[in-house]
Amino acid sequence: MLTLAILALFTGFQAQDDPVRLARELVEKLHSDKIEERDEATRKLMKLGLVAVPDLEKAAESADREVAERAASLVRIIRVRQELSPTILKALPGADERLAGGKDHAWMEVLLDATEVEKRIGVPWTAEDLGPLVRRAIKGAGTEADQDVIRRLIVGRKLRTAIPALVESYLREQSYVGPFSRALEQMRAPESIPPLLRASQEGPSRMRIRAAYLLGVIRSKEAIPVLLRMLDDPEPEAGETAAWALCRLRATEGIPGIAAFIDSKHPNLRCAAVLVLPLMGAKSEVPGIARLLDDPQGIVKAHAALALGELGARERVPWILPLLQDPDLEVRWFASSALGKLGDPQSIGPLIGLLVDSQSRVRCAAAQALGELGATDALGHLRTALKDGSGEVRRGALDALVSLNIRAEARFIRPLVTDEDRWVRVSAIGALWSLQDGAAASVIVDRLNDRESEVAGAAATWLCRMGRREGVPTLLNGKHPLWPLNLLRLPRDWDLVNKTELPGGREALAREHLDFLARRHGRVLDWSDRLSELDPPWTSRWTLSGKSSGPGPLEDLAGIAGDRGEVILESDRLRVVPPDEALRFWKAWWDQESAKDR
């Protein structure tokens, strides 16, 4: 008898705790006349979760409108709660009900709330917490600012589960370049490649083109066969996009197909050919490119001339020279630049003639080309160009005199330090440093009080380069880069690191380039954890030449950092820190240096 009693009691408990039966009973209570019973049943059904959904879905079809609406709402809330982590549900009370409303943007709003809560409590969300929110918020991100929040979260937290939704949304965007495409580029996620490959071969042309573009951006070698076929696409934009993608991939097997564009009836394809082929080093295509010097479209003709210059086709100089008289501004401009690159002395006379062209851009290009050609017999004409009515031309003449590297010309440059155009003043200060004109110090010091901050910063940098300290207060008290102070603190070390040759053609993140420089000189890269690696200077990949075209690779990288980070060279480290931390460091250093002088 005791056994039977226990068995009966156990069976009663089973019936009471059977979730399916309990769900059915609770759904029935939604019909109750008492609001307290309906509300209690609602809370218990929500707690039951998915097991209650079948009965709730039936109730959602009830003739009783209130019961149907309450049941349907509960189904939506339960499904939302299944997506969210317990941590998010606890930290954001009511979020499940907001999201159950069915509006995509609600997910974006809750995601923004989550980021604010994270800042307030100081405990980072996990990928499990943020992943579901981000995946759904992608569809509701209506503004670029919202999209950038999502980009930062996906890249910063490495939320790889969001990549399929990100690809889907990118393919629907209007713009090729936006936060979502940047996120996919930064993630370089292999899981994005299969859907992009499918999209590049199926669906409407716009989607195929967008997919091809991004496959090139993320450097997907798997896409090369698809891109090669796309060169023959009847849609010109598809072929143009495929050409650029193959160029990014350095897929030289695409050169013949791209070269075929030279004879295309579409000017955009002809233009794509002359833009892309030089970047791929396609010297074998010089004869075909030269034919386009007679193209009816000025933009094609102009880029064809420049392409020959970039490919070093010096034998084509006689073909390019007549273009200096072309009625099209861009043709004369690009032809001048091409002749400067090709280094043939027979170009000097015609280029001197262009220094009086009606268009300032052409005069500027002619002056710069004469500098590249080392045309010392054009010095008188370049000095005259320093007085041209266009600031652009005056800057071009300054570039030319720097290229000629004749220190005696500094006396003709000094007056431009007070030019009416601020960018001419900046260029003149830079030119005087390039020519190592120590005699200009007094006029440079005067520019520390220039009304334009760019000029004052250039003057302070010039003084630091020359080992002079008058510009330190300007750098410390204004919104200027602080890296020039390294030239005063550790001048020999900075000069040694800054003269390092980087591996030619190496594409890398700024952090990777800086790490190479540090290790090359027995130092470690000390990267502050306060820097946001999601900022453009750090997420973009940079190709710096073996020999830097600027003052040096270290200064190039300091310039790339802009206002997002400062480089501080130590005897054992190369530090990269936020600007506020750098400012404190350099102010402390300057206080110590000033105390030594007292």
Rounded mean pLDDT for each run of 10 residues along the chain, 598 residues in total: 44 58 86 87 86 87 88 89 90 90 86 88 84 88 87 86 90 81 85 93 90 93 96 95 96 97 96 97 96 96 97 97 97 98 96 97 97 96 97 97 95 97 97 94 96 95 95 90 95 93 80 92 92 74 64 88 90 94 95 85
Q: Could you give the C-alpha distances from 16 to 20, 21, 47, 195, 476, in angstroms and in order?
A: 10, 8, 16, 49, 75
Q: Which residue has the tokens 């009966």?
A: 8
pLDDT at 1: 46
Assess whether 24 and 106 both reside in one domain: no
Alpha-carbon gap, residue 578 to 585, rounded angstroms: 11
Same structural domain, 111 and 46: no
Distance in Å from the first CA to the final CA of the chain: 104
Is residue 18 located within the same domain as residue 108?
A: no
Of 313, 368, 367, 357, the C-alpha closest to 331 is 357
Tell me the three state secondary structure of residue 437.
Answer: coil
Co-location of 69 and 104 in the same domain: no
Domain shared by 550 and 579, yes or no: yes
Q: Output the six-digit token pair for 303.
A: 């880029």
Q: How many CA atoms lie less than 13 Å away from 536 in the CB half-sphere? A: 7
Q: By the 8 A CB rule, do 320 and 339 touch?
A: yes
In a domain, 347, yes or no: no
What is the model's pTM?
0.84
Residue 583 lies in a domain: yes
What total of structural domains would you count in the chain?
3
Backbone angles phi, psi at 125, to 5 degrees: -70, 155
**Residue ranges making up the domain that contains 553:** 495-597
β-pairing, 541-544 vs 506-509, is antiparallel
Classified as helix, coil or strand, 359 is coil
Cα–Cα dist 97/73, whole Å: 9
Number of Cβ within a 10 Å radius of residue 168: 14
345 close to 373: Cβ distance less than 8 angstroms: yes
Distance CA 533, CA 157 (A): 11
Say if 125 falls within a structural domain.
no
Pairing of strands 541-544, 573-577: unpaired
Q: What is the pLDDT of residue 12?
A: 44
501 and 591 housed in the same domain? yes
- Strand (E) or helix (H) holding 238: helix 236-248
pLDDT digits (tens, 9 = 90+) for 440-487: 999 999 999 999 999 999 999 999 999 999 999 999 986 889 999 999
Nearest to 172 by CA among 126, 215, 203, 218: 203
Domain membership of residue 507 (yes or no) is: yes
Give the pLDDT confidence score for residue 460 in this predicted structure.
96
Do 510 and 558 have their domain in common? yes
CA distance 512 to 434: 28
Please tell me what DSSP assigns to residue 260: G
Question: Is 533 a domain residue?
Answer: yes
**C-beta separation of 311 from 292 below 8 A:** no
CA separation for the pair 251, 244 (Å, rounded)? 10
Structure-token pair, residue 153? 């979260």
pLDDT at site 548: 45
The pLDDT of residue 20: 84
Q: What residues pair up with 577 in beta bridges, in sequence order?
A: 566
> Hey, what are 267's tokens?
């000017």
* pLDDT score for 6: 44
Listed in sequence order, the residues at least 6 apart from 397 whose beta carbon sits closer than 8 Å to its beta carbon are 367, 382, 383, 385, 386, 388
CATH of the domain at 558: 3.55.50
Q: Are residues 505 and 584 in the same domain?
A: yes
Kindly state whether residues 113 and 63 are assigned to the same domain. Answer: no
Contact of 344 with 322, CB cutoff 8 Å: no
Phi then psi for residue 400, to 5 deg, are: -65, -45
Phi/psi of residue 508, each to 5°? -155, 165
Q: How far apart are CA 442 and CA 446, in angstroms?
A: 6
Residue 416, in any domain of the structure: no
In a domain, 64, yes or no: yes
Question: Is the distance from CB of 78 to CB of 71 less than 8 angstroms?
Answer: no
Three-state SS string over 317-333 comes to HHHHHHHHHCCCHHHHH
Query: Is 413 among the domain residues?
Result: no
Verify that 53 and 97 share a domain, yes or no: no
Tell me: do 41 and 67 sit in the same domain.
Answer: yes
Q: Do 576 and 499 share a structural domain? A: yes
